[in-house]
Structure formats: structure tokens, C-alpha cells
Amino acid sequence: MAGQNMKLGIFDSGLGGIMIAKALRGALPDLDMVYLGDTLHVPYGKRSEKAIYAYTRACIEYLFSEKDCRLIIMACNTASASALRKLQQGYLPQAYPERRILGVVVPTIESALEHGYSRIGLIGTNYTVHSNVYREELQKINPAIEILQVNTPLLVPLIEDDGMAWMEDVLDHYILPLKEQGIEALVLSCTHYSCLKDLIRERYDLTVIAQDEILPEKLADYLMRHPEIDRVIGRKGEAEFLVTDLTPNYAHKASDFYGRTIDLQKIEVMSYGV
């Protein structure tokens, strides 16, 4: 069914990526897109590599086979750190050689490098931090760059479960030590943390690298450099929001993250086994 009606896919482990979808839609409002959040298995950040790969691959397969996505933005940092390379090198060339999946690590690193920071802080999920993917990728390009990483597992539950009243105390615990160590910028390497960027900027007077601010320009640039992809994605301005589990709280959160009411639809994704 490939043609001029293919879609842009946006994948996240849960609902945080809706803030990325909102930003992409703000910049490219006509582009037909499908968002898929694996709410049945969120959070990915504390899971094993095997589980993250199996869940991610099942969702990516769904977006390609059922929704005819030509390009998928893997908004989830944990999946980008864990499953992306294996999908790009093993699965894609065999199953969908023409299609593409782009992660968030490389664009985020490019943005940090463009600004010339030499001492960077990073907060993320357990998996992302312990994978060391940001450190390795940054230091491949500039070995002199220092990256101070903190695993911040309490932030996603506080964001998802209405825990904002406790957020400042928890952020102080994670961020003040980084600030004391003289970081020049802080990378928010998790989809959910976009909603904390203003609070972090104000409270700690820090330069924040937020992915919802980076990705729209990077995507527009990518599409310009890849007309073969750009021209087959539909331009009717359609947007679908899919989840693998649906509760009233998820529906409420999704609309909250998007800034207006959206209709979440529950779908079944075939499992590949863990």
C-alpha cells in the first residue's frame, strides 16, 4: 500500500512522547502521523535489554505493517539507547529495507556539540544512564567532553501519577549535585522530562537541552535531505494516537501532555516473546 499516503510514526514506551508529537506537529502540521505509546509495558527504563527489544520491535512492526509508516521517530530514549541499533542493522534491512527509524540520541548529541559545551550533565532512566550511550557517542566525536550522568527513576512515576507536589524536592536531590559540579548544560534524556524543562531552567538557572525543542528542526532538515521519504508521506494533517493499554488516567494524561483533548485508541500489538 506504499504511495503518497504513508505516515510518519512516533514511538514511545508510554505517553511522554506525546510532548514530542506535539512539537513535531507544531512545526510540520500537515504531515500525517501516527503516535504509538506502549502503555501496557511502560516504564521501559527499568527493564532488561531483551524485554525492551521485544516490546520495541513489536510496536515498530505494527507501525510499519498496520499503519504504513515510512519513517518512525523513536522518541523513547530508553528504546533508542537499547534497541535502535539492532533494529536498524538486523531487522530493517531484512523486513523493510526502504523504511527508516530515527532515534533521539544522535540529534541530541548534535545539539550539544553545536553549542560547544565541554561539561554536560544528563538525567535519564536507569537503562539510558547505565547504557552509557550518550557518553560513548559524544566522546567518539570529542573525547575531551565530560558527561556527568544521573539515573533519575523517580521522575517518570511522579509525572505520570500526579506527584508534582513532590517534584521540587526530588529534582533538588538529583540536580543540585550536578549544578555544584559546574555543568554548562543539562540534557533531559527522557520523553517525560520535557514537561519539567521550564521548572528546571527557572529553579536551577541552567541551560537545558530539551528534545521537544530539538527534534522538529532535525526532522524538517532530515525530510529536506531525503525527498524520497518526504514525498510519500501524506500531507492531510491527520493524526492518530494509539496505545497498547487504555485507562481513564492515560486518557487524561495524554490530553494534558498534548495541551488539548485527544482521542486515544487502544490497539493490540503482537508479542515477540521476551
One of 59, 69, 76, 195 is an active-site residue; which one?
76
Query: Which of 6/258 has CB closer to ligand DGL?
Result: 258
C-alpha cell at 262: 485527544
At position 61, the amino acid (one-letter code) is: E
Task: Say if CB 29 and CB 92 are below 8 A apart.
Answer: no
First to last CA, the chain: 30
The residue sitting closest to ligand DGL, measured at its beta carbon, is 45
Smallest distance from ligand DGL to CB 38, Å = 8
Query: Which of 33/156 has CB closer to ligand DGL?
Result: 156
Q: Which residues bind ligand DGL (CB under 6 A)?
A: 12-14, 16, 42-45, 76-78, 125, 128, 156, 190-192
Q: How far is CA 200 from CA 174, 175, 193, 203, 206, in A?
A: 11, 9, 10, 5, 7
Smallest distance from ligand DGL to CB 190, Å = 4
Smallest distance from ligand DGL to CB 202, Å = 23
Query: Which of 6/129 has CB closer to ligand DGL?
Result: 129
C-alpha of 31 from chain center: 18
- 59 in catalytic set: no
Residue 68 main-chain phi, psi, to 5 deg? 55, 45
**Residue entry with cell 533521539:** 104
3-state helix, strand, coil in the chain (%, to 5): 50, 20, 30
Smallest distance from ligand DGL to CB 30, Å = 26
- 69 in catalytic set: no
Query: Which of 208/233 has CB closer to ligand DGL?
Result: 208
Task: Say if CB 57 and CB 88 are below 8 A apart.
Answer: no
Query: Which of 45/234 has CB closer to ligand DGL?
Result: 45
> Is the backbone of residue 196 left (phi > 0), alpha (psi -120 to 50) or beta?
alpha
Smallest distance from ligand DGL to CB 49, Å = 14
One of 59, 69, 190, 195 is an active-site residue; which one?
190
Q: How far is CA 252 from CA 34, 51, 161, 166, 266, in A?
A: 19, 27, 11, 20, 14
Query: How far apart, in whole angstroms, are the C-alpha atoms of residue 213 and residue 70?
Result: 23
* Residues noted as catalytic: 76, 190
